[in-house]
Each structure stands twice: as structure tokens, then as C-alpha cells.
């Protein structure tokens, strides 16, 4: 199973310093499998009521290695950088109710692999997406209460373009594919003194099986097999056994790479549950620990994520944090894999 990665951009919707009208957030995330950086800006349009949010993120996955028969070198495929931009609006209806909306866009990126040398055949995949989010939240908004609480509901809609093409010297055959998702989610937060408890969950509906969307079909493989067979027949006819064996090994690995590049670049989540607790130790230090259970769509397994985040407030307008997470992917068909993720961030308000 390919590494599941995501860049999460969260607008800070909590109370702002009285004089703050602009807030900038910079966050960098690193892991063995990917690196990412995100920038978010928030502009106060109406004092304490309406905020305009813009964000940009850029991520890069580690090269994909496809292993073949024992004793052969792996085939390495470079994965291009992926970018995402978003624009949103957050508005307080009153002291208790808020509504928010956001739109996002990820331009198409292309990956390709040379499947056949003779005749030349290149496989190219293209991935892009666009989406929107609409949410509403309620909180008691009374700092004098011993117990405060809040709740929110949200709905995210995304459309993915997962097309791929087979390119030869004479023609290009393109196979367009799209996937839609609908993800309702809900959360509740309770604040007791300096301790905040939070529980969030979501469920995702897909327009088709996300494991098959954009994947290479059996009919396509039959066409590639027919092209490969011509070279195999010629090699056997002229007694080129060494070249014939090398050709089969390389073709097999390249077809595996083509299959790995097609479709979604992340493991598709079916439902998710995330409890967490945050403790404020002083005016300048707070810490959070959490757990996330991700259930992928049937056939893709599940994941367990343990995380912690520590935030230091240097002044009323500057805060920084460090977060670490350990993710255990349990695909089911292959041995589990453990990943570590480290994130550093800073926010400045003025």
C-alpha cells in the first residue's frame, strides 16, 4: 500500500488579541515518506465577527520504488510536487453561532514511467482536485462559566480528476476518470478549567470504488501485453534469450509502477474518529495528546495515529508549536508499517 499523506490546513478560530487584525501561520511537516510546508493568512474584515482566510501548501513525496525479482535493482519513479490553494470566509452570527465556508484547488500534476523501450510506450498519470467546505459551530462563549462547551457540523465536497494516458510514437490513448466524495463531520469540545476535551468524527461517501477509480483496466493491460509479445516473439526467434529475460523483468516492474501511479495518491478514508485532550499548564505553555482511528475503504485496511502537540506563547501576538505523531498503517494483506511525522509551526498576529 502506498503511503498515505495529507497536508492539513486549520484556521485558528479561537479568540484573537483585541488589536489583532491580521494573522499569519507558517507550518512545516517532515517524515521519511514526504515533506510539506503550508502558509495561511487570516484578515479580520469585521471586528471580532468576520475573517477572510487564504492558504497555500506544497508537498513532495519520496520517490516510489518498485521491486521486481530477487537480485534485480528496484525501479525508482520520481513523484512531482503537489500544491494546494484555498480561500475561505468565517463569520460570527452572534456571540454563540459561527458559519464558515472554504474552497480549495489542487492543480493537476503528472507522473510518468517508460513501460516499453521497443516499441516506445509511456504511461502518464494526471491527478488534480477541487473541493469546498461548509460548516456551522456553536459555543457557550462565557469565560466566567466553570464548564464551557461547543459543537460543530461540517460538510466537505471534493472532486478528483484521475486520468491517465498511454503514449506511443504514433498515438496517445487517454483514459479520463473522475471521483467524487462527500464527507460529513461533527465535533464536540468541553472545557473544564484549564483542561479541554475534544471528540471529532467523519464519514466519507464516494461516487464509485476509490480503489478502482483511475486504475489501469484489464483491457489496457491486454493491449500492452500484445505490444510486448511482438518483441518477445522476435527475441525468441533470433535466440536473444538474455535480452528476452531482461525485457520481461523490466516490463513487469514498469507495469507495476504504472499501476502504483494510477488512481488516488492517498489511501481513501471511509470513516475517522479523533479524541484528544489539551491541558494549559500556564499562560505561556499548553500541551495536547490525541489518538486518531482511520478506517480505509474495504480492502485497504486501517490506521492508528498517536499524536502530541506543545504550544508556547511568547507574547499576546506570537506563538509557536512542535507536534509529533506516530502512524501505524495496517493494510491487512501486507505487514503493518510504522511512520513518524514531525511538525513545526509559528503564528504571528498584528
Residues 6+ apart with CB under 8 A from 225: none
pLDDT at 230: 61
pLDDT at 62: 82
Domains and CATH numbers, the chain: 22-349 (2.40.160.40)
> Quick check: 163 and 176 in contact, CB under 8 A?
yes
Residues 6+ apart with CB under 8 A from 230: 119
pLDDT at 258: 67
| Helices marked H in the chain | 218-237, 241-261
pLDDT at 222: 74
3 state DSSP class of 210: coil
Q: Within a 10 A sphere around the Cβ of 135, how many other Cβ atoms?
A: 20
Here the cell at position 169 is: 510514437
> Quick check: 122 and 113 in contact, CB under 8 A?
yes
C-alpha to C-alpha distance for 82 and 34, rounded to whole angstroms: 11
- The DSSP string of 67-101 is --STTSPPEEEPPPPEEEEEEEEEEESSSSEEEEE
Walk along the chain (350 residues) and give the pLDDT tens digit of each residue. 333 333 333 333 333 333 458 999 999 999 888 899 999 999 999 988 999 999 999 998 888 777 655 556 667 778 888 999 999 999 999 989 999 999 999 999 888 888 777 677 788 888 999 999 999 999 997 777 788 999 999 999 999 999 988 887 778 888 899 999 999 999 999 999 899 999 999 999 999 999 888 888 877 777 776 666 665 555 454 444 444 444 445 556 666 666 666 777 777 899 999 999 999 999 999 999 999 999 999 888 999 999 999 999 997 789 999 999 999 999 877 789 998 999 999 999 98
In degrees and rounded to multiples of 5, residue 80 shows phi and psi of -70, 160
Amino acid at each position: 500500500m502506498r503511503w498515505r499523506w495529507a497536508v492539513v490546513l486549520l484556521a485558528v478560530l479561537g479568540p484573537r488579541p483585541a488589536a489583532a487584525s491580521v494573522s499569519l501561520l507558517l507550518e512545516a511537516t517532515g517524515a521519511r515518506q514526504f515533506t510539506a510546508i503550508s502558509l495561511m493568512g487570516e484578515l479580520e474584515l469585521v471586528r471580532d465577527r468576520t475573517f477572510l482566510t487564504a492558504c497555500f501548501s506544497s508537498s513532495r513525496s519520496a520517490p516510489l520504488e518498485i521491486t521486481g525479482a530477487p537480485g534485480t535493482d528496484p525501479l525508482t519513479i520520481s513523484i512531482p510536487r503537489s500544491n494546494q490553494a484555498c480561500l475561505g470566509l468565517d463569520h460570527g452570527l452572534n456571540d454563540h453561532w459561527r458559519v464558515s465556508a472554504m474552497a480549495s484547488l489542487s492543480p493537476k500534476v503528472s507522473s510518468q514511467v517508460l513501460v516499453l523501450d521497443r516499441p516506445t510506450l509511456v504511461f502518464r498519470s494526471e491527478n488534480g482536485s477541487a473541493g469546498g467546505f461548509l460548516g456551522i459551530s456553536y459555543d457557550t462563549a462565557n469565560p466566567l462559566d466553570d464548564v464551557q462547551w461547543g459543537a460543530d457540523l461540517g460538510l466537505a465536497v471534493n472532486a478528483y480528476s484521475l486520468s491517465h494516458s498511454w503514449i506511443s510514437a504514433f498515438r496517445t490513448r487517454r483514459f479520463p476518470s473522475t471521483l467524487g466524495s462527500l464527507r460529513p463531520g461533527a465535533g464536540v469540545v468541553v472545557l473544564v478549567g484549564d483542561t479541554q476535551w475534544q471528540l471529532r468524527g467523519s464519514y466519507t461517501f464516494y461516487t464509485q470504488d476509490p480503489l478502482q477509480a483511475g486504475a489501469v483496466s484489464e483491457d489496457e493491460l491486454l493491449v500492452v501485453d500484445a505490444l510486448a509479445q511482438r518483441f518477445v516473439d522476435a527475441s525468441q526467434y533470433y535466440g536473444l534469450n538474455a535480452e528476452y529475460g531482461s525485457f520481461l523483468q523490466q516490463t513487469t516492474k514498469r507495469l507495476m509502477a504504472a499501476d502504483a501511479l494510477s488512481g488516488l495518491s492517498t489511501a481513501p478514508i471511509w470513516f475517522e474518529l479523533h479524541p484528544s485532550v489539551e491541558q494549559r499548564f500556564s499562560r505561556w505553555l499548553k500541551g495536547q495528546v490525541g489518538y486518531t482511528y482511520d478506517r480505509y475503504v474495504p480492502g485497504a485496511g486501517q490506521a492508528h495515529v498517536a499524536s502530541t502537540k506543545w504550544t508556547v506563547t511568547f507574547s499576546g501576538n506570537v506563538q509557536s508549536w512542535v507536534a509529533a505523531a506516530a502512524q501505524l498503517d495496517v493494510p491487512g494483506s501486507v505487514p503493518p508499517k510504522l511512520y513518524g511525522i514531525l511538525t513545526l509551526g509559528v503564528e504571528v498576529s498584528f
